[in-house]
Amino acid sequence: MNASTPPRVLPDDPSSAQAQARVNYWRQTRRLTLWLLALWFGVTWVVSWFARDLDIVLAGWPLSFWAAAEGALVVYVLIVAAYGWSMDRLDAACREASRCRSVEAGGGSSRSP
**Annotated domain spans of the chain:** 25-103
Q: In this predicted model, what pLDDT tens digit does every residue of 70-87 receive, in sequence order?
A: 888 999 999 999 999 999
Q: What is the pLDDT of residue 8?
A: 57
Q: Is the pLDDT of residue 15 over 80?
A: no
pTM above 0.85, yes or no: no
33-40 LR contacts (CB < 8 Å, sep 24+): 33/83, 36/79, 36/82, 36/83, 39/75, 39/79, 40/76, 40/79
Q: Is the pLDDT of residue 107 over 80?
A: no
Lowest model confidence (mean pLDDT) among 14-18, 54-58, 86-90, 108-112:
108-112
Which has the higher per-residue pLDDT, 87 or 10?
87
Which of 8-12, 32-36, 67-71 tops mean pLDDT?
32-36
* CA gap 62, 69 in Å, rounded: 11
Which has the higher per-residue pLDDT, 80 or 14?
80
Q: At what angle do helices 72-104 and 17-41 cross, to 10 degrees?
A: 180
* CA gap 11, 18 in Å, rounded: 7
Q: What is the pLDDT of residue 83?
A: 97
